Structure 1
Amino acid sequence: MKRNAGHDYTLRSLQSILGVSRRVLSGLIDAGFVQPMRGKRNELRFTFQDVVLLRTAFQLQSSKIPSRKILRALGKLKAELPAELPLSGIRITAVGDAIAVRTGDDQWDATSGQHFLDFEVAPVKGDVAFLDATPRTLKSRTQQADEWVALAEQLTSTDVLGAEQAYRKALTLSPDPHYLAYINLGVLLCEAETRCEDALSVFDQALQNFPNDALLHFNRAVVLEELKRYDAATAAYEKSLALDETHADAHFNLARLSEIRGDKQGLLRHLNAYRRLGG
Structure 2
Amino acid sequence: MPDHGYSLREVQRMLGVSRSVVEKLVAAEFVSPSGERRDWRFTFQDIVMLRTAQALRVAGVSPVKIIRALDHLRKSWGHEGSLTGVRIAAVGDRVTVRDEASRQWDAETGQLLLDFDGKPAATNIASLQAPLANRAREDATALFYRARSLEEENIDAAESEYRAALARVPDYTDASLNLGGILMDTERFDDAIAVYREALRYRPNDPVLLFNVGVALEDSGRFGEALRSYELCIEHAPDFADAHFNAARIHEELGDAAKAIRHFNAYRNLQKGS
TM-score (norm 1): 0.49
Which has more radius of gyration? 1
Which structure carries more strand by proportion?
Answer: 1
